[in-house]
């Protein structure tokens, strides 16, 4: 009899959520738990074996505990294959297993996180304190830029004020760190333009750029990526596909060409490790390894407790056997800053 792991249970939950005969509140609970399964810290089947309640798990109430318990006791004969929109995501348990089994790249810091400056819930200070507890040597504060109004994107003045705050915090933290990097997650237009002044951007330690619009197009978007990568105003292409678990498939492109272009221009492509994103995923990381393009890993944390999401990304890199010298987070901070300064083409 097959044993159902959390990924299989997540798929069964999402499928059940699609059943139009169920009442709305059930479908919503099923859909949420289907996503939540990817964050459960232990296999649900192990909880049952230990005689513990499934309600210990995120987003599982008594009704869902009964539903899931029945699946575990009597698994379906044939497990459904997840559709593309739910494929290529690691569960928390799988990520931990990878990190325990394989020699994982030693990352020194986290290169994507948000604060109350844009759509995060905590201060720069609180994020840095949580990062220190995780042993990070550096963190990049990458709040959204002004073009993304829905996420309370910041303009040059707000980011300059945050820069003063970061400088003061770095002075106060001193050598025990972590070193807080002044950074931003720029909104990149479908034409490849960024939404902050280039002269301002040159004063930041690190610049992420990401697409946040027209993410549901289904035709090939290679030219959009190449146009963005021609723009010298950002260093890291964040959450490249723009996919969201069970919500949005993300863009498609000739990824070999995109990665090769990014490599030639010495940019990094990101593993956004947020569990619902995991963008790039394992399949594209295998291709990225072949092309040799630099990889950046960020938790995309919006709260201190989410900084541990970085593990999903480190596990994905480990599983794809990305060598440490291809991962920008494996650089000491001075080398990272030098790369971010020097890799950009000179302006005429």
Q: Contact residues for Zn ion (CB under 5 A)? A: 210
Nearer to Zn ion by C-beta: 196 or 210?
210
For 227-245, give the DSSP string.
Answer: HHHH-TT-SEE-SSS--BT
**Closest distance to Zn ion from the beta carbon of 286 (Å):** 24
Nearer to Zn ion by C-beta: 277 or 319?
277
What's the burial of 217, exposed, middle or buried (CB within 10 Å: 0-12/13-18/19+)? exposed
By C-alpha distance, which of 307, 300, 332, 328 is closest to 128? 307
The token pair that represents 194 in the structure block: 């960024």
Please check whether residue 86 is in contact with residue 11, taking contact to mean a CB–CB distance below 8 angstroms: yes
Q: Say how far apart CA 139 and CA 261 lie, in whole Å.
A: 27
Position of minimal CB gap to Zn ion: 210
**Closest distance to Zn ion from the beta carbon of 343 (Å):** 22
By C-alpha distance, which of 190, 171, 192 is closest to 180? 171
Nearer to Zn ion by C-beta: 107 or 237?
237
**Closest distance to Zn ion from the beta carbon of 145 (Å):** 10
Q: Say how far apart CA 177 and CA 169 lie, in whole Å.
A: 9
Q: Kindly report the number of other CB atoms within 10 A of residue 31's CB atom.
A: 18
Nearer to Zn ion by C-beta: 179 or 241?
241
Nearer to Zn ion by C-beta: 159 or 210?
210
Buried b (16+ CB within 10 A) or exposed e, 129-145: ebbeebebbbbbbbbbb
Nearer to Zn ion by C-beta: 9 or 208?
208
**Closest distance to Zn ion from the beta carbon of 137 (Å):** 24
Counting Cα atoms < 13 Å in the Cβ hemisphere of 281 gives 20
For 57-74, give the DSSP string.
Answer: STT--HHHHHHHHHHHHS
**Closest distance to Zn ion from the beta carbon of 158 (Å):** 17
The token pair that represents 290 in the structure block: 């072949």
**Closest distance to Zn ion from the beta carbon of 36 (Å):** 22
Nearer to Zn ion by C-beta: 210 or 229?
210
Q: Say how far apart CA 248 and CA 218 lie, in whole Å.
A: 11
**Closest distance to Zn ion from the beta carbon of 183 (Å):** 13
**Closest distance to Zn ion from the beta carbon of 69 (Å):** 37
Nearer to Zn ion by C-beta: 10 or 120?
120
The token pair that represents 343 in the structure block: 């890799």
The token pair that represents 181 in the structure block: 């990097």
């Amino acid at each position: 009899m097959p044993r159902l792991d959390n990924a299989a249970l997540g798929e069964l939950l999402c499928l059940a959520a699609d059943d139009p005969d169920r009442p709305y509140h059930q479908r919503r609970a099923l859909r949420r738990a289907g996503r939540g399964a990817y964050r459960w810290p232990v296999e649900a089947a192990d909880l049952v074996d230990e005689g513990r309640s499934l309600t210990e798990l995120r987003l599982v109430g008594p009704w869902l505990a009964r539903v899931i318990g029945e699946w575990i006791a009597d698994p379906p004969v044939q497990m459904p294959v997840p559709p593309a929109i739910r494929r290529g995501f690691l569960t928390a348990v799988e990520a931990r297993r990878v990190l325990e089994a394989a020699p994982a790249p030693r990352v020194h810091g986290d290169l994507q996180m948000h604060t109350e400056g844009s759509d995060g819930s905590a201060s720069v200070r609180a994020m840095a304190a949580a990062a220190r507890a995780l042993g990070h040597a550096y963190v990049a504060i990458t709040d959204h830029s002004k073009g993304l109004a829905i996420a309370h994107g910041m303009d040059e003045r707000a980011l300059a004020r945050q820069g003063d705050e970061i400088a003061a915090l770095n002075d106060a933290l001193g050598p025990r760190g972590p070193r807080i990097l002044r950074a931003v997650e720029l909104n990149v237009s479908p034409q490849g333009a960024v939404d902050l002044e280039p002269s301002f951007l040159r004063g930041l330690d690190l610049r992420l750029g990401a697409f946040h619009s027209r993410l549901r197009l289904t035709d090939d978007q290679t030219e959009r990526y190449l146009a963005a990568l021609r723009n010298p105003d950002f260093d890291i292409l964040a959450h490249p596909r723009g996919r969201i678990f069970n919500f949005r498939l993300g863009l498609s492109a000739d990824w070999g060409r995109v990665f090769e272009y990014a490599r030639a221009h010495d940019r990094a492509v990101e593993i956004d490790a947020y569990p619902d994103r995991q963008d790039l995923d394992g399949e594209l990381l295998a291709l990225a390894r072949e092309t040799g393009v630099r990889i950046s890993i960020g938790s995309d944390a919006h709260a201190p407790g989410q900084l541990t999401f970085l593990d999903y990304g480190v596990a994905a890199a480990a599983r794809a056997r990305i060598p440490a010298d291809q991962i920008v987070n494996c650089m000491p901070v001075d080398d990272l800053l030098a790369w971010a300064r020097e890799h950009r083409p000179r302006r005429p």
